[in-house]
Structure 1
Amino acid sequence: MLKIAYHPIYNHPLPEGHRFPMLKYELLRDQLLYEGTCTRNNFFEPTALDDSFILNVHTTDYFNDLKNLTLDARAARKIGFPLSEELIAREIIIAGGTAKASEFAIENGISMNIAGGTHHAYSNRGEGFCMLNDQAIGARYLQEKKLAEKILIVDLDVHQGNGTAEIFQNDPSVFTFSMHGKSNYPFKKEVSDLDIALEDGCDDDTYLSILKDILPKLIQSENPDFIYYLCGVDVIASDKLGKLSLSIEGCKERDRFVLQTCKDRHIPVMCSMGGGYSPEIKTIIDAHANTFRLAQSIFF
């Protein structure tokens, strides 16, 4: 059975002007239930992850400053959200959802976190609406529990996974692959193990041709026993924060190819949803829902 992390705290209310990013989580769950792609049994409510797992990725000083709301003003501004106890609790629960979903992926072949994809969080700071790097925490969680050794992170959000690249920059047990918009945020990129920077306006054919050439070769050379997939839908042409030009169908084909590749090679895959900022919320929901529809049709 497909297991999906969802918690009401994912919809944490923010002050006016910051609410839009949070709207999609409940709406996406409701859409999946309404159309019959999922039942309530597919969803599990994650709990807060033990601090020790977070500290495998993030520095003690940074994590304590988050929990105690003692980040200096400049560091807080780089995150982009007004910080609060509930917002930090939300981030810890998202990390818990990704960690638990990773175990479900090993059991069932695939799992999802309806939130997550917080790849701009560095070991010692947050950026771009990201405070704790959920997939990095998940990777360390699996390794500490001896559930995986070699991990591949496939980050196909429109923005480079700069925090993830920094966290694993000297660690050959986790391979970081980011395929992103060349001129998108972050404007100063980190160095992933493999970066593919795409020109503005990259269309379906160009994008899919590159991905379908690279990913199978990468899996063959790295031979991972677990894959994290960051499947942001901010690659589509209507996205306010992206500069690529994929159609919704092109984005769906991207997901189909990644998930089918994992299934064919018997590699468990855990998906965090990442970004999506089109002006119409229904566009975001439909693009994200495709990932769940494909997970059901390919794996179950």
Structure 2
Amino acid sequence: MHAFHCDRFDPPLPEGHRFPMAKYRLLREQVQAQLPDVVVQEARAATEAELQAAHDPAYVAAVLQGTLAPEAWREIGFPHSPTMVERSCRSVGATLEATALARLQGVALNLAGGTHHAQRAKGSGFCVFNDVAVAAEQALRHGVQRVAVIDLDVHQGNGTADIFAGREEVFTLSLHGDKNFPFRKSASTLDVPLDKGCDDATYLAALDLALGQLETAHAHRPFGLMYYLAGADAHEGDRLGHLALTDAGMALRDRRVLELAERWRVPLVVCMAGGYGRDLERMLAVQWQTVRLCFESWHARQRA
């Protein structure tokens, strides 16, 4: 299995910034140390033309040329720096490369990615470019007939929903905290809002119903590619999530998605998406659990 990263380009952030940028490097190091059969590669940068598949050319040019307005960077939530731009391009590149490998080998990972708040002409919520939207658009241009995006980050995937609004060839599914960012949602193909404090049983019941609707859609018109945003921020230890899933609940969540993709024999790209744990070590354990389960799923496909 291949996993792509861009953590060599993690930008410096102001002291006290709430985004845990170190998580990417720490997760990559753990994968390299404990899963030697995973091929861990530094991602290439997405090109300007690739980014334009899902983003307005003027917005892409402003980010790449360093002319994006300060207020636009404030909405994104990061200070501008050349390293931030490079990292954003490589995060998209990681999902592009993972898509190519998943189509050959069944499962591949972006150890970052899942930047689902970026819309066609602006960034938001720590998201500069929408990696899954760019990669899905490129896949649709190169032989894939239909794409499913299963977004289980605790925050609604408003950017992805906005970019693919009205597009029947892309099914966007989002399970998310109802009273959480973004406070103005965009309509996904299927949105499942969850109450604050939602526990394992309630979450998994909602997920089962949603995946049942996805199965009906697949039976009507099969998906040729799936993206899974496996946000760790649905976990009970997350500062920004406000749900109450346990470690075991998060594992059951992941298995349901992985088993669905296995059963359909559809290529699956997994992005780590959000995670803002109060305890960095505990949050990394949740993300590591996701990577390990993905590896098991990939291995099962190789034996089949």
Say which of 159, 162, 171 aligns to 1:163: 159
Say which of 179, 203, 206 aligns to 1:207: 203
- Tell me the equivalent position of 1:48: 45
- Tell me the equivalent position of 1:145: 142
Residues in 1 aligned to 2:223 and 2:19: alpha-carbon distance in whole angstroms:
36
**Closer/same/farther in 2, CA of residues 25 and 227 from structure 1, 3 Å limit:** same
- Tell me the equivalent position of 1:254: 253
Residues in 2 aligned to 1:193 and 1:6: alpha-carbon distance in whole angstroms:
29
- Tell me the equivalent position of 1:7: 6
Residues in 2 aligned to 1:287 and 1:8: alpha-carbon distance in whole angstroms:
19
Residues in 2 aligned to 1:63 and 1:20: alpha-carbon distance in whole angstroms:
23
Q: What RMSD over aligned residues (CA atoms) do the two structures have, in Å?
A: 1.4
Letter of the structure 2 residue corresponding to residue 191 of structure 1: A
Q: Mind listing any 5+ residue stretches in structure 2 that lack a counterpart?
A: 300-304
- Tell me the equivalent position of 2:302: none
Residues in 2 aligned to 1:106 and 1:266: alpha-carbon distance in whole angstroms:
10
Deviation, 1:104, is 0.6
Residues in 2 aligned to 1:246 and 1:259: alpha-carbon distance in whole angstroms:
18
Cα deviation, 1:102-157, whole Å, max 9, x if unaligned, reads: 011111111100000100000000000001000000101111222x1100100000
Q: Given the two structures, how large is their TM-score scaled by the length of structure 2? A: 0.94
Letter of the structure 2 residue corresponding to residue 219 of structure 1: E
Residues in 2 aligned to 1:127 and 1:299: alpha-carbon distance in whole angstroms:
33
Question: Is residue 13–residue 19 contact of structure 1 (8 Å, CA) maintained in 2?
Answer: no
Q: Structure 1 vs Structure 2: percent identity of aligned residues?
A: 38
Letter of the structure 2 residue corresponding to residue 207 of structure 1: Y
Residues in 2 aligned to 1:203 and 1:175: alpha-carbon distance in whole angstroms:
26
Question: Is residue 121–residue 131 contact of structure 1 (8 Å, CA) maintained in 2?
Answer: yes
Deviation, 1:49, is 1.6
Question: Is residue 10–residue 22 contact of structure 1 (8 Å, CA) maintained in 2?
Answer: no
Residues in 2 aligned to 1:76 and 1:59: alpha-carbon distance in whole angstroms:
16
Letter of the structure 2 residue corresponding to residue 169 of structure 1: A
Deviation, 1:185, is 0.4
Name whichever of 111-120 and 217-226 sits farther off: 217-226
Residues in 2 aligned to 1:187 and 1:206: alpha-carbon distance in whole angstroms:
22
Question: Is residue 112–residue 271 contact of structure 1 (8 Å, CA) maintained in 2?
Answer: yes
Residues in 2 aligned to 1:272 and 1:202: alpha-carbon distance in whole angstroms:
23
Q: Given the two structures, how large is their TM-score scaled by the length of structure 1? A: 0.95
**Closer/same/farther in 2, CA of residues 165 and 20 from structure 1, 3 Å limit:** closer
Question: Is residue 6–residue 45 contact of structure 1 (8 Å, CA) maintained in 2?
Answer: yes
Deviation, 1:195, is 0.4
Deviation, 1:228, is 0.5
**Closer/same/farther in 2, CA of residues 63 and 207 from structure 1, 3 Å limit:** same
Name whichever of 74-83 and 8-17 sits farther off: 8-17
Name whichever of 17-26 and 114-123 sits farther off: 17-26
Letter of the structure 1 residue corresponding to residue 196 of structure 2: D
Residue 111 of structure 2 corresponds to residue 111 of structure 1 = no
Residue 264 of structure 2 corresponds to residue 268 of structure 1 = no
Deviation, 1:281, is 0.8
**Closer/same/farther in 2, CA of residues 283 and 169 from structure 1, 3 Å limit:** same
Residues in 2 aligned to 1:191 and 1:20: alpha-carbon distance in whole angstroms:
26
Letter of the structure 2 residue corresponding to residue 195 of structure 1: D
The correspondence of residues 19-38 of structure 1 with structure 2, limited to 5 A, is 20-34=19-33, 36-38=34-36
Letter of the structure 2 residue corresponding to residue 70 of structure 1: T
Deviation, 1:72, is 2.0
**Closer/same/farther in 2, CA of residues 267 and 274 from structure 1, 3 Å limit:** same
Residues in 1 aligned to 2:196 and 2:6: alpha-carbon distance in whole angstroms:
35
Residues in 2 aligned to 1:265 and 1:132: alpha-carbon distance in whole angstroms:
29
Q: Mind listing any 5+ residue stretches in structure 1 that lack a counterpart?
A: none
- Tell me the equivalent position of 1:18: 17
**Closer/same/farther in 2, CA of residues 8 and 239 from structure 1, 3 Å limit:** closer
**Closer/same/farther in 2, CA of residues 158 and 19 from structure 1, 3 Å limit:** closer
- Tell me the equivalent position of 1:288: 287
Residues in 2 aligned to 1:9 and 1:60: alpha-carbon distance in whole angstroms:
27
Cα deviation, 1:266-291, whole Å, max 9, x if unaligned, reads: 01110110011111111111000111
Letter of the structure 1 residue corresponding to residue 274 of structure 2: G
